[in-house]
Amino acid sequence: MLSEYQKFFTGRPTPQIAKDLLGRLLIFHGPQGDVGGWIVETEAYVGEQDSASHAFGGRRTNYSESLYGMPGDLYIYQIRSHYCIDIVVQNQEEPQGVLIRAIEPAVGVEQMIKNRGQDGFNLTNGPGKLMQALGVQSRSMDGQPMERAKLKVDLKAERHVPQKIEAGPRIGVNAKGKDALKPYRFIVAGNPYVSKMKRRDADDLTHGWRD
Q: How would DSSP label each residue in 123-157? A: GSSSHHHHHHHHT--SSTTTT-BGGGSSEEEETTS
Secondary structure tally for the chain: helices H, strands E: 4, 8
Strand partners, 154: 25
pTM: 0.97
CATH number at residue 81: 3.10.300.10
DSSP state of 209: B
Residue of 98, 85, 77 whose CA lies nearest to 9: 98
Please compute the mean of the pLDDT values over residues 9-27 and round it to a whole number: 98
Rounded to an integer, what distance in angstroms lies between the CA atom of residue 31 and that of residue 161?
A: 30
Examine residue 103 and state whether it is found in any structural domain, yes or no: yes
Q: How many domains does the chain have?
A: 1
Examine residue 38 and state whether it is found in any structural domain, yes or no: yes
Examine residue 206 and state whether it is found in any structural domain, yes or no: no
Examine residue 46 and state whether it is found in any structural domain, yes or no: yes
Examine residue 207 and state whether it is found in any structural domain, yes or no: no
Burial 159-188 (b: 16+ CB within 10 A, else e): ebebeebeeeebeebeeeeebeebebbbbb
> Residue 41: what pLDDT?
98
Kindly state the percentage of the chain with pLDDT values over 70: 100
Structural domain harbouring 113: 4-201
> Residue 170: what pLDDT?
98
Examine residue 211 and state whether it is found in any structural domain, yes or no: no
Task: Write out pLDDT tens, residues 39-97.
Answer: 999 999 999 999 999 999 988 999 999 999 999 999 999 998 999 999 999 999 999 99
Examine residue 35 and state whether it is found in any structural domain, yes or no: yes
Examine residue 192 and state whether it is found in any structural domain, yes or no: yes
> Residue 85: what pLDDT?
98
Task: Write out pLDDT tens, residues 88-133.
Answer: 999 999 999 999 999 999 999 999 999 999 999 999 999 999 999 9
Is a pLDDT exceeding 90 seen at residue 148?
yes
